Amino acid sequence: MASIFTKIIQGEIPSYKVAEDEKHFAFLDINPNAKGHTLVIPKKEENKIFDLSKQEYAELMDFCYRVAKALEKAIPCERIGMSVIGLEVPHVHVHLVPLNAMEDIQFVKKEKLSNDEFVSLAEKIAQNFE
């Protein structure tokens, strides 16, 4: 069965998309640690990141780099944190989190954002994606 993230890529489940290329997709985490918390995923459905080939892994990191650059421009923060963590969704996902405090990367404190806030954050990040 397709993962929830594959359904997002295919548009069956809505998301706040921030970037996409042929092999990757980036969208806002629906339960964010901080404003701009973004998930970057390969379109190929693979459970574990280190089961990707070296080339697929390198391409994913290259795409993460581009998304992180856009996040830095769009979201005021001290730096972008990156984490591969979690056991919930069996589809590789890299968390990119704008950090202003260590708590922002601890997956404990969560932000409550309105739909309008999600839309405006996604637009701002997308505009800065190169």
Q: Which residues are catalytic?
A: 93
For tokens 């997956």, what's the residue? 107
Q: How far is the CB of 83 from ligand AMP (least distance, A)?
A: 9
Residue number with CB closer to ligand AMP (30 or 101): 30
Q: How many Cβ atoms are within 10 Å of 86's Cβ, its own excluded?
A: 10
- The rounded radius of gyration (Å) of the Cα atoms in the chain is 14
Q: How far is the CB of 85 from ligand AMP (least distance, A)?
A: 6
Q: At 123, list the tokens.
A: 């637009």
> What does the per-residue mask of binding to ligand AMP show for 27-66, with x meaning CB under 6 A?
--xxx-------x---------------------------
The separation between the first and the last C-alpha atoms of the chain, rounded to the nearest angstrom, is: 33
> What does the per-residue mask of binding to ligand AMP show for 66-105, with x meaning CB under 6 A?
-------------------xxxxx----------------
Q: How far is the CB of 48 from ligand AMP (least distance, A)?
A: 11
Q: With beta carbons less than 8 A apart as the criterion, state whether 22 and 30 touch.
A: no
Residue in 111, 113, 88, 115 with CA at minimum distance from that of residue 101: 111
Binding residues for ligand AMP, rule: CB under 6 A, are 4, 13, 15, 29-31, 39, 85-89
